[in-house]
Amino acid sequence: MKIRLCIGMAVGAFVFGIIIDASGRKGSIPATMIAVFCATISLSFAQTTFLIYLSIFVLGLGLAGNNVVLRVYVIEFLPMKRRGFCLVALDVLGVIGYVSALGLSWLLMPSIVRLQNKKFRPNSWRVLIGLGGIPNLIMACATSLLPASPRYLLYRRRYEEALTVLRQIYAINNSKHADTYTLRTLDNCVRPDEEDEEDTGNVSKIVWKFYIKTRKRIRKICSTPFKCTTILGLCINLLQFPGIIWVALWNTQLFQETENFNKSAKKNSTCVVDIENLALGFLHNCQEIDTDRFRILFYLSLSYILGEILLLIGIDVIGRKIFLVLSGLVGTAACLGLLFTVHNIVQIVLSLIILAAYAIGRTTTSILLLENYFTGVRGTIIGLSRIFPYLVGSFTKLFLNIQCLTSIYIMSGILLSAAVAGSRMPDLTRLPMQE
């Protein structure tokens, strides 16, 4: 299931990334939310393996697509001085949603035995999935009322529509009538581009033109002056392949395995982190849930919120690059600190630091990529940067079975490498975005 979800996310991120560069941002936001809604409802009532797998794939498609579309859309509306703050606020809400879902799972998720006689129970996992999907339909209706991105309209030389959106923003922000907006025309403020051509003809020709334009965009981001930034951005995103959920699961199991290892009377016992225990470790047996493990995971996950709040406060003051480098260095130091302590309290504090540093690095990397590319390729680069982390993460988790010590070295290497690569990224804090 995990592989199908990750493949769906890899496909969704890239496909929606290139779609929003070809046809605009606004329409794709409700489209991704409807995809998530349909997938969750289908999964809630699925009775066959094929339908479950298909629903999970579509769910990944919508989730990753929405992640890409929403960030590209929002950043094109934000003022220069508050750009970082508002983008971090998106991730703060996302992390709060993850922690809330974790708490809700703790309350509603049953053991397998509770689904007796194949009857539907109010506390089954299907209810949890369905509850998570309903808000997406509501938000899809609400986001359909949003205005189109003025930057994208200007890029496509739709001057009148862009001016109308800017007047609406001016009227709302200043509580004045739109007619008092001083700018009267945007004609000839953007140089012509080959993408201004309208897509006409039959379906095969439209698809072929779409392919040709997508290939041109990928070539642009892989050539000067974006070549170095693209390589660094792809590398940093690849290094962050585990994802916040799996890093929290790893840290939880590492804490419990280390604690059991220190208490063990067998000196030849081995501390191991493997994929089976990451998931099944939450059950003592088919009838009893390991509440201690759930509690540790929940409390450790709160550090994500702490990290995002710290980033929220300082990203527009200190700068993106400094946060990325410092988070990597501090996280690396905390990982290495785990090797030299056996005290539970110290281990918990170091674990909190590691998770907070990881969250800060992920959010900062996303903002750096969004700011360093112009409107015509912004969706493509974000979608492209998501492909390898999802695919590598899914296949890595399939065969994860390593010693605790090795996993700590790997995590410290990930954080340190991201810090080194991030030190070479251009920083546009309090500066205009690339256009």
pLDDT score recorded for residue 243: 85
In the Cβ-directed half-sphere of 280, how many Cα atoms lie within 13 Å?
7
What share of the chain in percent tops pLDDT 90?
37
Listed range (82-91, 209-218, 250-259, 418-427) with the worst mean pLDDT: 250-259
pLDDT score recorded for residue 118: 47
Domain identity same for 306 and 181 = no
pLDDT of 408 strictly over 50: yes
d(CA 236, CA 248): 19
Residue 235 inside a domain? The answer is yes
pLDDT of 327 strictly over 80: yes
Residue 192 inside a domain? The answer is no
Considering 157, 186, 215, which residue would you say is the last residue of a domain? 186
pLDDT of 209 strictly over 70: yes
pLDDT score recorded for residue 342: 76
Structural domain for 293, as ranges: 1-146+202-259+269-424
Domain identity same for 67 and 160 = no
The pLDDT tens digits of the residues spanning 111-154 come to: 444 544 444 444 466 777 887 788 889 999 998 888 999 889 88
Domain identity same for 120 and 229 = yes
Domain identity same for 141 and 153 = no
pLDDT score recorded for residue 122: 46
Output the six-digit token pair for 147.
Answer: 């205005």
pLDDT score recorded for residue 333: 94
Domain identity same for 239 and 133 = yes
Residue 264 inside a domain? The answer is no
d(CA 267, CA 347): 21
| Average pLDDT of span 339-345 | 83
pLDDT of 330 strictly over 90: yes
14, 364, 325, 422 alpha-carbon torsion, rounded to 10°: 30
**Three-state secondary structure call for residue 403:** strand
pLDDT score recorded for residue 267: 47
d(CA 110, CA 287): 9
pLDDT band at residue 415 under the 50/70/90 scheme: very high
pLDDT score recorded for residue 293: 77
Q: What is the CATH number of the domain that holds 359?
A: 1.20.1250.20
End-to-end CA distance of the chain, in Å?
A: 40
Q: Which residue has the higher pLDDT, 188 or 101?
A: 101
Query: What is the per-residue DSSP string for 238-288?
Result: HHTTTHHHHHHHHHHHHHHHHHHHHH-S-TT---EEEHHHHHHTTBSSSS-
**Three-state secondary structure call for residue 374:** coil
Domain identity same for 174 and 212 = no
Domain identity same for 85 and 99 = yes
Residue 429 inside a domain? The answer is no
| Average pLDDT of span 174-200 | 71
| Average pLDDT of span 298-307 | 89
User: Structural domain tally of the chain?
Assistant: 2
Residue 286 inside a domain? The answer is yes
| Average pLDDT of span 311-339 | 92
Domain identity same for 211 and 157 = no
C-beta separation of 418 from 239 below 8 A: yes
Listed range (103-117, 273-287, 288-302, 419-433) with the worst mean pLDDT: 103-117
CB-count burial class (<10 Å; 0-12, 13-18, 19+) for 50: exposed
Domain identity same for 30 and 171 = no
| Average pLDDT of span 374-379 | 91
Residue 223: partners with Cβ closer than 8 Å, 6 or more residues away: none
pLDDT band at residue 181 under the 50/70/90 scheme: confident
Residue 430 inside a domain? The answer is no
Distance of CA 249 to the CA centre of its chain: 17
Domain identity same for 182 and 98 = no
Domain identity same for 381 and 414 = yes
